[in-house]
């Protein structure tokens, strides 16, 4: 959710920055164009100063005319009668004698559409003319107060519109944020309720929706698993307790079958031990697992079981080309996982038991195959669904083995081979 809010905030900031950039760009473009256009031609006062400083007996001497030519300016000098007494590049359409009204006109406005600037030099008038459409002459020497106020209002209006757009964008984004977040707030409030409605897993908050839906799914699975555990343990403990109770209720205490009672107590003890182990698996930190060689653990297991069952035959087939392959594991749990399957085969079958260790690509495969009658497909289905009702005889040990394999990020496969039960574990190799 924090990433989503940051993204939305970034969008708001980006929009504000875009508006500010547009405003700044427009202002800079305006100033740049004014600078470029204004810098193309020299200032008339600068031109006059240059001409006046470099005059000889005439103003439009060779040096000054070269300067005027470089700057694309033509010039004339009029005497007090309005006659042209000096000129440089004067166009043909410009007269050689001007009336006082002509002088007043081009001093204020234009001369034959040329922007001209006049300077008094002694008893004569020096006129500089710039190219047509180069400079504009302002026909006034004042500024309208109402225009000033109007321009200030325009600026204020532009600023208000800018801030208004920023506020509108802010409100739109905040509304979208709350619109998108409210379903998640409701989903979190109802996360552990039976009427939880699955969140839509699309849009910008897809990851958050997936996480919340997954949390609800895990919770429901946990409730179902707990319910199955309770039913399974209740049923499995009820039978040996009933047998113990039946023995203890015998009138003649000398007829008590203490061996039977001990067996039933042992069953209850094994069930509770398995239950405790299964519950503890959920709290194990996989980060503590280390890369280790499974071959030495398999060999130790086979030796231990042969010593406990000297009359049985356990065939170990090692197909590994590299004897130093490693997987990330907890050695104790890994031993218990394989022991549960091998122990079941030793208890419930009489024939040979074959344990095979092989590798394929980047995986290692452990297979345990016995020659017994197998187990019912119903039990196999219950183990795959993690339903432990009525599976005490084989299923609890197998289920614990499956849970340990899952904890090691491995695959668990169980199948009847007719005859025999085949259990396979598949794990990823590590370097």
pLDDT for res 212: 78
| Neighbouring C-beta atoms of residue 338, cutoff 10 Å | 23
More confident residue, 278 or 364: 364
Same domain for 261 and 242?
Answer: yes
Contact 365, 425 (CB under 8 A): yes
- Selected residue with higher pLDDT from 45 and 180: 45
Confidence of residue 191 (pLDDT cuts 50, 70, 90): confident
Instruction: Assess whether 75 and 158 both reside in one domain.
Output: no
Q: Which are the contacts of 150, defined by CB distance < 8 A and separation ≥ 6?
A: none
Query: Is there a domain that residue 190 lies in?
Result: no
Residue 418: pLDDT band by 50, 70, 90 thresholds?
Answer: confident
Kindly report which listed range (149-153, 178-182, 315-319) carries the lowest average pLDDT score: 178-182
373 and 423 together in one domain: yes
**Residue 196 in domain:** no
Distance in Å from the first CA to the final CA of the chain: 37
Residue 51's contacts (CB-CB under 8 Å, 6 or more residues apart) are: 59, 60, 64, 67, 68, 75, 126, 128
Token pair belonging to 422 = 């085949």
Looking at residue 228, its pLDDT comes to: 63
Asked if residue 416 and residue 367 are part of one domain, the reply reads yes
If one counts every other C-beta atom within 10 angstroms of the C-beta of residue 95, the result is 15
**Backbone phi and psi for residue 43, each to the nearest 5 degrees, phi listed first:** -65, 135
241 and 103 fall within a common domain: no
The CATH number assigned to the domain holding 341 equals: 3.30.565.10
For residue range 386-400, what is the model confidence (pLDDT) as tens digits?
A: 655 555 544 577 888
Q: What are phi and psi of 141, to 5 degrees?
A: -125, 35
Q: Does residue 184 fall inside a structural domain?
A: no
- Would you call 309 helix, strand, or coil by DSSP? coil
Report yes or no on 187 lying in a domain.
no
Query: Does 30 share its domain with 123?
Result: no
SS3 266: helix
Rounded to whole angstroms, the Cα distance separating 186 from 220 reads: 18
Assess whether pLDDT exceeds 80 at residue 362: yes
Which one-letter DSSP state was computed for residue 320?
-
Domain boundary among 129, 161, 186: 129
HSE-CB at 416 with a 13 A cutoff on CA atoms is 12
What integer pLDDT is reported at residue 278 of this predicted model? 64
Nearest to 205 by CA among 183, 234, 225: 183
Judge whether 90 lies within some domain.
Answer: yes
Please indicate, yes or no, if residue 134 is contained in any of the structural domains. no
Q: 170 with 307, same domain? A: no
The pLDDT-based confidence of 146 (bands split at 50, 70, 90) is confident
Least confident window among 24-33, 137-146, 196-205, 226-235: 226-235
The whole domain housing 386 covers 286-428
Q: Is the pLDDT of residue 205 over 70?
A: no
* 313 plus 416 within the same structural domain: yes
Q: What does the alpha-carbon distance between residue 364 and residue 408 come to, in Å, rounded to a whole number? A: 13
Rounded Cα–Cα distance for residues 277 and 285 (Å): 14
For range 363-387, the mean pLDDT: 85
Q: How far apart are CA 97 and CA 117, in angstroms?
A: 17
Which pLDDT does position 103 carry in this prediction? 92
For the chain, the domain total comes to 4
pLDDT digits (tens, 9 = 90+) for 93-121: 999 999 999 999 998 889 999 999 999 99
The dihedral formed by the CA atoms of 16, 19, 22 and 26, expressed in degrees to the nearest 10: -120
Please answer whether residues 352 and 371 qualify as being in contact, where contact means their C-beta atoms are separated by less than 8 angstroms: yes
Same domain, 80 and 99: yes
Whether 310 has a pLDDT exceeding 70, the answer reads yes
Average pLDDT of the residues in 41-55: 91
Confidence of residue 348 (pLDDT cuts 50, 70, 90): confident
Percent of the chain past pLDDT 90, that is, above it, reads: 38
Same domain, yes or no: 346 and 423: yes
Mean pLDDT of the chain: 83
**What pLDDT, on a 0 to 100 scale, did the predictor assign at position 3?**
63
pLDDT tens digits, one per residue of 56-71: 999 999 999 999 999 9
**Can you tell me which residue has the tokens 């260790």?**
357
Tell me, what's the pLDDT at 207? 75
- For residue 192, being part of any structural domain is answered with no
Take residue 313 and report the two structure tokens written for it: 């035959």
Q: Are residues 29 and 147 in the same domain?
A: yes
Q: 212 and 122, same structural domain?
A: no
């Amino acid at each position: 959710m924090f990433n989503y809010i940051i993204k939305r905030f970034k969008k708001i900031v980006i929009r504000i920055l875009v508006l500010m950039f547009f405003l700044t760009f427009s202002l800079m473009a305006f100033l740049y164009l004014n600078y470029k256009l204004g810098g193309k031609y020299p200032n008339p006062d600068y031109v006059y100063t240059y001409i006046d400083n470099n005059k000889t007996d005439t103003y439009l001497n060779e040096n000054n005319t070269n300067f005027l030519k470089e700057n694309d300016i033509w010039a004339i000098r009029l005497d007090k009668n309005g006659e042209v007494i000096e000129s440089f590049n004067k166009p043909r359409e410009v007269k050689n004698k001007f009336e006082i009204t002509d002088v007043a006109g081009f001093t204020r406005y234009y001369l034959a559409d040329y922007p001209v600037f006049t300077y008094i030099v002694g008893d004569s008038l020096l006129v500089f003319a710039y190219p047509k459409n180069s400079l504009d002459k302002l026909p006034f020497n004042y500024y309208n107060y109402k225009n000033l106020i109007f321009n200030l209002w325009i600026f204020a209006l532009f600023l208000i519109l800018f801030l208004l757009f920023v506020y509108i964008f802010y409100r739109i984004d905040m509304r979208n944020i709350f619109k998108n977040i409210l379903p998640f707030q409701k989903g979190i409030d109802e996360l552990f309720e039976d009427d939880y409605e699955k969140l839509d897993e699309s849009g910008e908050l897809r990851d958050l929706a997936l996480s919340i839906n997954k949390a609800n799914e895990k919770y429901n699975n946990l409730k179902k698993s707990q319910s199955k555990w309770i039913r399974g343990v209740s049923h499995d403990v009820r039978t040996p307790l009933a047998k113990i109770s039946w023995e203890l209720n015998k009138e003649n205490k000398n007829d008590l079958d203490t061996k039977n009672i001990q067996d039933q107590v042992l069953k209850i003890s094994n069930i509770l031990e398995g239950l405790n182990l299964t519950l503890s698996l959920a709290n194990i930190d996989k980060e503590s697992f280390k890369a280790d060689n499974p071959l030495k653990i398999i060999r130790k297991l086979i030796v231990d079981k042969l010593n406990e069952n000297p009359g049985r035959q356990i065939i170990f087939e090692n197909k590994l080309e590299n004897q130093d392959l490693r997987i990330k594991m907890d050695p104790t749990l890994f031993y218990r996982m394989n022991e549960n399957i091998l122990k079941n085969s030793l208890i419930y079958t009489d024939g040979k038991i074959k344990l095979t260790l092989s590798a394929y690509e980047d995986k290692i495969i452990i297979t345990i195959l016995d020659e017994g009658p197998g187990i019912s497909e119903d039990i196999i289905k219950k183990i795959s669904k993690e339903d432990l009702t009525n599976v005490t005889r084989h299923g609890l040990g197998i289920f614990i083995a499956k849970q340990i394999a899952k904890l090691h990020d491995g695959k668990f496969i169980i199948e009847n081979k007719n005859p025999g039960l085949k259990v396979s574990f598949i794990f990823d190799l590590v370097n």
